[in-house]
Each structure stands twice: as structure tokens, then as C-alpha cells.
């Protein structure tokens, strides 16, 4: 059986604002986030039966990924996703898996789609399945990105922030769908995001962007939006700050990231050029 492989990086969202639209191709988010060196490797293999998905060798019901397959082909395929990162903890794995799947499918079946077309297909699948709004955009471009203008879902600007170590720890998952489908929570998130986006716009005008200031801004957003609820995350951020560091919650997961190592953390790297690609 033939197969093809593709990679897409994990993405850590720091601030996000929900931009609703009745058309999935125009619904997206504004905000800030960055890609990291780890992500997903997707292997797509032609199948004679049904389309199946496995995550780290275990069968998984993954509607966002099966959705991108259905949008691109009627050919059943086996999709094997490998990642050292956890699902549902704010690393954008549904977006990464969807984007990498489109790239691998395009290569395997010689579909002739551009990378932009494939990225938009993955974004639409995320929107329709309520698993994300901005991760695919970041994973398509790579680096530390800011999105300040409504309109095209794949439009973003790169912030001049160098590659550097990032430390994270996750405690439990948050189902993005439960947040996106709650009108009251959406309204509070967007109010907090408007304040954060204004501050991001001011930060972005400088020749040098202070990444620690961006993290502090992210932490204020997590508090003002009501998303920072988990006691483990709250306590961990307090401990990092008492030690002289800065930290914030990873959106959307009960997880913490910082530029300073801390107890129980794992090291990764903010990656300036890590983006989705065929392997």
C-alpha cells in the first residue's frame, strides 16, 4: 500500500478573540500565539475498507481529521498520527493533525492543491467541528504571530521574537467545543480580548518586542476572560512569578507555559520557521 507523511507544529495560543461568521471560510480568530518544535507527524495510507484514525497507535474518533479527508477525496485512507504532545491541552493538535493530513493526502493522491487551499480546508474543518479557530493559520505560517484585523482566516503578521526555550506543563484538557458553544463565555472572552489586542497593537509598534511582556498580557487575558479557573494552573503561575519569572495559561487547556524552567515542566522551543510540510 502507498503512503505519504507530513508534519505540522504544535501551536500555543496566548490571546484570542472569536470572530463569528455564518460561513466557515470566514469565521476565525484574532490574537497572538506561537509554534513550537514538537507537533504531529501524520502518515496517510490508502485503504480498501473505511477511513480510520489512530493517535499514537490507538484508535481515535477524530471528526476534524475525518472531515478534511471527506472534503478532499472519496478514497478511504488509514491515518496514523504521532505526537509527543497531549490532545485537548492547548497545543493545537486538532489543527496540526488536520493540516498535516491535508498535506499528506495531497501528496499521496496527487490532488494538485496549493498549500494555501489545503490550509483553508483544514481551517474550515476546525470551525465546523468547533475544535479551533486560529491554530491552522499559525501552523501554516510558523513562528510567533499576531492577528489584529478581521477578514481572511489565514492572514497574520510575524512578530520579531527570536527562537528561544519555552517550558510547559499540562494538567488536564479543556474541550474547546464547550467554550465556543457557550454564548456567555464567548462574550466575556471577546471583551477581555479587545483590551489585550489593543495592548498587542501597541507592543507591535516597537522595533523590539518584549516576549515576557506578551506573556504577562496573556496572563491578564486569561484572568479577565474567566478561562483561568484551574487551581493547579493558578498555583503554578504564582510559583513561577514568586521565583521572578512570567507565565500564563495555554489556550485552551489547563496548562502553563513560561520562558523560565519550573517544577514539573518540559522544555520545548519557540520555533521561528517551523510550519506544516510534507516529509
User: How much is the pLDDT for 204?
Assistant: 67
pLDDT digits (tens, 9 = 90+) for 254-276: 999 999 999 999 999 999 878 99
Band (pLDDT 50/70/90 cuts) for residue 227 is very high
The C-alpha cell that represents 18 in the structure block:
472569536
Q: Report pTM.
A: 0.95
Asked if the model's pLDDT at residue 1 lies above 70, the reply is no
Burial class of residue 153 (count of CB atoms within 10 Å of its CB; 0-12, 13-18, 19+): buried
Per CATH, which fold does 1-279 belong to? Ribosomal Protein S5; domain 2 (3.30.230)
pLDDT digits (tens, 9 = 90+) for 67-96: 999 999 999 999 999 999 988 889 999 999
The C-alpha cell that represents 3 in the structure block:
503512503
User: How much is the pLDDT for 274?
Assistant: 84
Spatial separation of the C-alpha atoms in residues 178 and 4, rounded to whole Å: 34
In eight-state DSSP terms, residue 279 is -
Spatial separation of the C-alpha atoms in residues 226 and 228, rounded to whole Å: 6
Task: For residue 207, give Cα distances in angstroms to 94, 95, 147, 160.
Answer: 34, 31, 18, 8
User: How much is the pLDDT for 24?
Assistant: 93
Spatial separation of the C-alpha atoms in residues 236 and 246, rounded to whole Å: 11
Query: Would you call 234 helix, strand, or coil by DSSP?
Result: helix
Rounded to an integer, the average pLDDT of 159-181 is 89
Q: What integer best gives the mean pLDDT of the chain?
A: 94
pLDDT digits (tens, 9 = 90+) for 206-223: 677 899 999 999 999 999
Spatial separation of the C-alpha atoms in residues 241 and 158, rounded to whole Å: 27
Amino acid at each position: 500500500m502507498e503512503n505519504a507523511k507530513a508534519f505540522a507544529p504544535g501551536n500555543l495560543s496566548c490571546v484570542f478573540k472569536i470572530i463569528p461568521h455564518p460561513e466557515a471560510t470566514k469565521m476565525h480568530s484574532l490574537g497572538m500565539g506561537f509554534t513550537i518544535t514538537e507537533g504531529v507527524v501524520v502518515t496517510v495510507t490508502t485503504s480498501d475498507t473505511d477511513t480510520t484514525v489512530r493517535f499514537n497507535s490507538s484508535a481515535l474518533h477524530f471528526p476534524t481529521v475525518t472531515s478534511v479527508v471527506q472534503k478532499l477525496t472519496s478514497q478511504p485512507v488509514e491515518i496514523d498520527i504521532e505526537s509527543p504532545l497531549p490532545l485537548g491541552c492547548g497545543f493545537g493538535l486538532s489543527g496540526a493533525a488536520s493540516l498535516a493530513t491535508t498535506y499528506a493526502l495531497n501528496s499521496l493522491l496527487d490532488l494538485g492543491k496549493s498549500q494555501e487551499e489545503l490550509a483553508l480546508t483544514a481551517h474550515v474543518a476546525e470551525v465546523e467541528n468547533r475544535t479551533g479557530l486560529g491554530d491552522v493559520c499559525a501552523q501554516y505560517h510558523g513562528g510567533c504571530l499576531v492577528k489584529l484585523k478581521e477578514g481572511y482566516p489565514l492572514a497574520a503578521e510575524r512578530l520579531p521574537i527570536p527562537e528561544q526555550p519555552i517550558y510547559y506543563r499540562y494538567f488536564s484538557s479543556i474541550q474547546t467545543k464547550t467554550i465556543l458553544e457557550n454564548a456567555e463565555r464567548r462574550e466575556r472572552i471577546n471583551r477581555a480580548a479587545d483590551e489585550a489586542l489593543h495592548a498587542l497593537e501597541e507592543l507591535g509598534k516597537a522595533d523590539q518586542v518584549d516576549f515576557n511582556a506578551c506573556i504577562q498580557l496573556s496572563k491578564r487575558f486569561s484572568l479577565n476572560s474567566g478561562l483561568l479557573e484551574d487551581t493547579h494552573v493558578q498555583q503554578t503561575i504564582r510559583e513561577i512569578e514568586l521565583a521572578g519569572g512570567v507565565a500564563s495559561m495555554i489556550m485552551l487547556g489547563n496548562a502553563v507555559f513560561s520562558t523560565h524552567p519550573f517544577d514539573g515542566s518540559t522544555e520545548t522551543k519557540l520555533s521561528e520557521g517551523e510550519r506544516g510540510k510534507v516529509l
